[in-house]
Amino acid sequence: MRQDRRRGYGSQHVTRRDVDKLQEEIEELFADLWQVPRFSGIRHGFRPNVDCFHTDEPHVLTIVVELPGVDQRSVQIVANDRVLIVAGERKRPKVPGRVYQQMEIETGPFQRQIRLAEDVDPGRARAWFELGVLTIELPVAERPRRGRITIRVERP
């Protein structure tokens, strides 16, 4: 093996994207870690699952968020640089005189930050809510668009 004196033995070139991905994975790890009851005592709040993928035709990033039991009117979506924020609240239904025998359904306010792998045009974004699933399509942008933009959820 040849030693590269400029970067040290066995080192590789690390891109900004690699660092961003590592940071995202560490944030997710810690977020998941604090959701485990033995570390946090009691679980606090609802944390929806998220999938994110891209397609080439059309060239869009798609984010899918599981939001069962969440009123679509409570959902807020904001895009800022290469971060998408989805926030809202899942409320526990009010039932007079209830006494719980078992309580596993998590409720409360939530906020998920999704780091985007590409620059997007949030001004052309589409979002819709169907059967407890929020889908957001963000067209990939030729040039980065800076600033904070709120995305509206389409009503059926």
Q: 8 or 48: which carries more pLDDT confidence? A: 48
DSSP of 39-89: HHSS--S----EEEEEETTTTEEEEEEE-TT--GGG-EEEEETTEEEEEEE
Closest CA to 70 of 113, 40, 32, 105: 105
Domain boundaries, the chain: 12-44, 46-151
**In which band, very low, low, confident or very high, does the pLDDT at 1 lie, cut at 50, 70 and 90?**
very low
Three-class SS of residue 2? coil
The chain-wide mean pLDDT, for the chain, equals 82
Closest CA to 74 of 18, 139, 129: 129
Q: What is the pLDDT of residue 55?
A: 93
**In which band, very low, low, confident or very high, does the pLDDT at 19 lie, cut at 50, 70 and 90?**
confident
With a CB cutoff of 8 Å and minimum separation 6, the contacts of 8 are none
Question: Which amino acid makes up residue 143?
Answer: R
C-alpha distances in Å from residue 129, one per residue of 4, 67, 111, 146? 53, 9, 17, 26
Is residue 72 packed enough to be buried (19+ CB in 10 Å), middle (13-18) or exposed (0-12)? middle
pLDDT at 72 over 60: yes
C-alpha distances in Å from residue 109, one per residue of 8, 122, 132? 47, 24, 16
**3-class secondary structure per residue, 87-116:** EEEECCCCCCCCCCCCCCCCCEEEEEEEEC
pLDDT tens, position by position, 97-115: 988 888 888 999 999 999 9
**Across the strands, what pairs with 62?**
53, 137
User: According to the CATH classification, is domain 46-151 in 3.30.230.10?
Assistant: no
